[in-house]
Chain A
Amino acid sequence: MVEQLRQKAKELLKNKEVEVIIGYQKSNNNSFTTPCFIESEDGVDRLTWDEHCVYNLSLYLKEVKGKVGVVAKGCDVKSIVALMQENQIERDRVKIIGLECQMQVDEKGQVLEKCRTCQVHIPGMYDELVRSKTSASKIESKESDKEYSVLEELEAKSTSERWQFWQRQFEKCIRCYACRQVCPLCYCSECITEKSVPQWIFPSPSLKGNTTWNIVRAFHLAGRCIDCGECERVCPVNIPLRRLNKKMEKEIQTMFNYVPGLDSKKKPPLVDFRVDDPQEFIR
């Protein structure tokens, strides 16, 4: 697969279809990968691909100007779709090298929670596709019907128990904003939490400020979060952010029958207005 990937990347660079390719390279300790930016044909040998390629590289698309190629898993492509829906990147500027994933793993070698129920092992949109011999879709998608199983435990709790649970979690937040930084959809140049006139969110770590921050971010991602799980991965104090976002995803799906990141023609329901939407209560 790696060879195929390098080949495709080389062709794209050679034909001047892209100026730079964003991909994964091996890190120093070899069991890990880091993002890399490749601008010449000789550089493509640095590209790698294995189950350690976890990062969502679509994060860099907005920053890199000009024609760009990006290595993307199924989940990453969902965020590219979302970015296109929201006018952040133009489709014709980006070449997507889609990779059929093989269930990615964390540092301990455990298959990621999100991968276990993932349904897009083959990306939904791509310009080039690299297939896998041991495709994840073949290995195991038995749990794909358990999409929202991570929520079961929390949903079984009473409202006050849940509130207490989250209060304990938010208490830990140090307001490093790593979650925001790594989130492909938190692309705002100035975040609402930075706004000081008026100041909606108290900026230094405190239970109330943290609670507001985390709830505001969850709301901003409702119907937009594509479940790459990156925020939870980077949170230094291990707040289970994916559960928060997954719950919002579920609510939006039940209410509006909409799943983010699948169709670039559609609009997220919370930023959609249609005259034929019969909201009988506002006339």
Chain B
Amino acid sequence: MARIGVFVCHCGTNISATVDVKKVAEIAKGFPGVKFTTDYRYMCSEPGQDLIQKMVKEHNLTRIVVAACSPSLHEKTFRTCTQNAGLNPYFFEMANIREQCSWVHDDREEATLKAIDIVKLAAAKVGKNNPLQTTFIPVEKRVLIIGGGISGIQAAIDVAFNGFETVIVEREPSIGGRMAMFDKTFPTLDCAACILTPKMVEVNQSDLIKLYTYSEVEEVSGYVGNFKVKIRRKARLVDENKCNGCGTCWQRCPVRLPSEFDMNLGKRKAIYVPFPQAVPNVPVIDQEHCLYINKKKCGICKKVCPFEAIDYEQKDEVIEEKFGAIIVATGFTMFDHSIYGEYGYGKYKNVTTGLHFERMLNSSGPTGGKIVRPSDGKEAKKVVFIQCVGSRDEARGMPYCSRLCCMYTAKQALLLKEHNPEAEAYVFYIDIRAAGKNYEEFVERVQDEYGATYLRGRVSKIFQRNGRLMVRGCDTLSGTQIEIDADLVVLATALIARPDAIKLAQMLHIPYDQNRLFTEAHPKLAPVETVTTGVFLTGACQSPKDIPDTVATASAASVKACGLLSHEKLPIDPQIARVDVEICSGCLACQEVCPFGAIEKEEIVDRVTQQKRWVAKIAPSLCNGCGACNTACRPGAIDLDGFTEEQIFGQIESLTADKGDER
């Protein structure tokens, strides 16, 4: 018979203010199997834990219940404490009387009664706990990084620096991400290429970093330490090993197309590298538009390539590799402003976005660094910037603040003035959020030194008059209506999750929020982890981040990943599902519902009939103990260690004992 000890925590006054902890401890004395109870100010403190260990010895306790906070906070603490007291760590249960009781109730008497019931449940369960043993799995010492923007690049460099192999899977033909599109970066105004390209080159040259560009992750299975990942390497139609990036092919290709990298402001060919510093410096053939692929005509690139690198027959290739940890660095995309009637539904050519403007500022961009009107290519002198387009707009856009639009708008206004001191910059804003190091000073400087006109207010309408764009808005500070005839309007559109974010999240079993941004395991204490152990987040795929924050999270995520890889083997939670093959009918309903693919079928010889039959088999390393299979199994062949039917049943019985048997 189990000898249970119940330890009730005050949590300072977090619990004791609402719950009569002394009464809880007193009444718990009468629960079946309970041999000792007490209350204490902070159970998780060292003296608190010492108390548990001392009482285990003194009263020969074999099971522990701690009535305190949520198991997500201190279950581990007390498991270890239980183990240190010489008991199996799973001979412990946590009764959550804080989050599920004291914090959510006011009535002291009622809350105390509820706390008593919660403790009763835990005591009933712990009495039926089985000893469980932790098992270990070996670790694959490689990291997969999905996305090769600045965050993926930084993460790869950091992981390699720690001596581990890493693979970057980048969807586009080159790594670099959004940062590669910029001219200069706030708040220091250093040239984006000057600080980014050395890192891109480092990635390319490192022996420990493998680059799969023009590739995508297709399937992820496995678990921390042992992820199995299928990667589709899309056919470039150019042999990466032969091509040396001489450019003969794309100079001669006759097909001219709008360049996505240049936000369609410039042109590229059907065979192209997205930008001159691309890594790898190997072109791809755009199969949708290539004349040879579509009409079996042309074939010029193949003829002119001095290295015979063009291979029209190349096919997509799906490879499978193993990784111990995964870093997600897929970045962001821009909000589509065409839903806004007041900004012209995306109809006006001269109403552009911040990214368009970045390309125009860039001296190697489509305009050679000149700020022009896309409609006629003439120099733009009067530029109106509008902040918060799609941000902070619960009804039509995103509810959140995109955090960096204030800053990049200020940067762009400044650079406009630098490129052309005659130009006029107007900035419509709701308020300025410049809460980074040297950020506020930067925005001040743009106004004071560079003379950008900041107008606090919303733009109510953009329309055309006599061939010019008219921007009508209000300046709430002076209380006046304003109309500006602009050459160019630049919308600071919100940074949002990529359209395929949910698909990736489901592949990786990581949660996302209502805005489709990936969710960290804890907003404060585990900001780069996810609830799926071994999968980490960095950069703008998690929330809008500027480059400093992106790089910081990249380094943080790499530390976490390398930490995992520094172990030879990892423990796996023994609280997982178990099949009783005697009862199993082999219907495989469990396999169907298991979200982790942890169940396979296995042939056994029936003990009674001596006939072969199929049953379900669970892979301990894949099972997350979610219990989905448990509920799908009709005859009750599956049990979940740590949450066995007997334990749950014991709990129900403990509450209904005085109410008669309902079976």
Spell out A's residues near B (CB within 8 Å).
Answer: 65, 86-88, 187-192, 195, 197-202, 208-209, 212, 220, 267, 270-273, 275-276, 283
B286 to chain A, nearest CB (A): 29
> Are B595 and A198 closer than 8 Å at their CB atoms?
no
What CA separation (Å) do A212 and B582 show in the bound complex? Answer: 24
Please indicate the chain A residues that have their CB under 8 angstroms from the CB of B611 in the complex.
65
* Contact with A192, one of B592, B635, B646 (Cβ below 8 angstroms): B635
> Are A275 and B506 closer than 8 Å at their CB atoms?
yes
B94 to chain A, nearest CB (A): 23
Is B511 an interface position by the 8 A CB rule? Answer: yes
* Contact with B587, one of A65, A88, A276 (Cβ below 8 angstroms): A88
Please indicate the chain B residues that have their CB under 8 angstroms from the CB of A267 in the complex.
592
> Are B585 and A189 closer than 8 Å at their CB atoms?
yes
Please indicate the chain B residues that have their CB under 8 angstroms from the CB of A200 in the complex.
636, 645, 649, 663
Interface of chain B, main secondary structure: loop
> Are A86 and B589 closer than 8 Å at their CB atoms?
yes
Please indicate the chain A residues that have their CB under 8 angstroms from the CB of B628 in the complex.
273
Chain B, interface size category, equals 20 to 34
Is B449 an interface position by the 8 A CB rule? Answer: no
Please indicate the chain B residues that have their CB under 8 angstroms from the CB of A275 in the complex.
506, 595
Contact A273 B592, CB 8 Å, known A87-B614, A88-B586, A283-B511: yes
A62 to chain B, nearest CB (A): 9
Please indicate the chain A residues that have their CB under 8 angstroms from the CB of B589 in the complex.
86, 271
Contact A220 B634, CB 8 Å, known A189-B583, A283-B512: yes
Contact A271 B593, CB 8 Å, known A198-B646, A199-B663: yes
Provide a sorted-by-A list of 26 A–B residue pairs whose CB atoms are within 8 angstroms.
Answer: A86-B588, A87-B586, A87-B588, A187-B585, A187-B587, A188-B583, A188-B585, A188-B587, A188-B635, A189-B582, A189-B585, A189-B635, A190-B582, A191-B635, A192-B634, A195-B636, A197-B646, A199-B663, A200-B636, A201-B663, A202-B663, A272-B593, A273-B592, A275-B595, A283-B511, A283-B512
**Which single residue of chain A is at the shortest CB-CB distance from B593?**
A273
Is B256 an interface position by the 8 A CB rule? Answer: no
Please indicate the chain B residues that have their CB under 8 angstroms from the CB of A87 in the complex.
586-588, 601, 614
Most chain B CB within a 10 A radius of its CB, from A65, A188, A267, A275? A188
Interface of chain A, main secondary structure: loop
What CA separation (Å) do A87 and B602 show in the bound complex? Answer: 12
Is B632 an interface position by the 8 A CB rule? Answer: yes
Interface string of B637-663 (1 = CB under 8 A from A): 100000001100110000000000111
B618 to chain A, nearest CB (A): 16
Spell out B's residues near A (CB within 8 Å).
Answer: 506, 511-513, 582-583, 585-589, 592-595, 601, 611, 614, 628, 632, 634-637, 645-646, 649-650, 661-663
Please indicate the chain B residues that have their CB under 8 angstroms from the CB of A65 in the complex.
611
> Are B593 and A198 closer than 8 Å at their CB atoms?
no
A200 to chain B, nearest CB (A): 7
What CA separation (Å) do A220 and B650 show in the bound complex? Answer: 24
* Contact with B662, one of A188, A199, A208, A272 (Cβ below 8 angstroms): A208
Please indicate the chain A residues that have their CB under 8 angstroms from the CB of B634 in the complex.
188, 192, 220
Please indicate the chain A residues that have their CB under 8 angstroms from the CB of B511 in the complex.
283
Please indicate the chain B residues that have their CB under 8 angstroms from the CB of A201 in the complex.
663
What CA separation (Å) do A178 and B456 show in the bound complex? Answer: 79
What CA separation (Å) do A243 and B513 show in the bound complex? Answer: 43
What CA separation (Å) do A270 and B634 show in the bound complex? Answer: 11
List the 10 closest A-B pairs by CB distance, nearest first. Answer: A271-B589, A198-B649, A202-B663, A188-B635, A275-B506, A273-B593, A188-B585, A86-B587, A190-B583, A220-B634
Please indicate the chain B residues that have their CB under 8 angstroms from the CB of A187 in the complex.
585, 587
Most chain A CB within a 10 A radius of its CB, from B512, B589, B595, B663? B663
A201 to chain B, nearest CB (A): 6
> Are A198 and B645 closer than 8 Å at their CB atoms?
yes
What CA separation (Å) do A171 and B533 show in the bound complex? Answer: 51
**Which single residue of chain A is at the shortest CB-CB distance from B611?**
A65
What CA separation (Å) do A200 and B645 show in the bound complex? Answer: 9
Please indicate the chain A residues that have their CB under 8 angstroms from the CB of B594 in the complex.
273
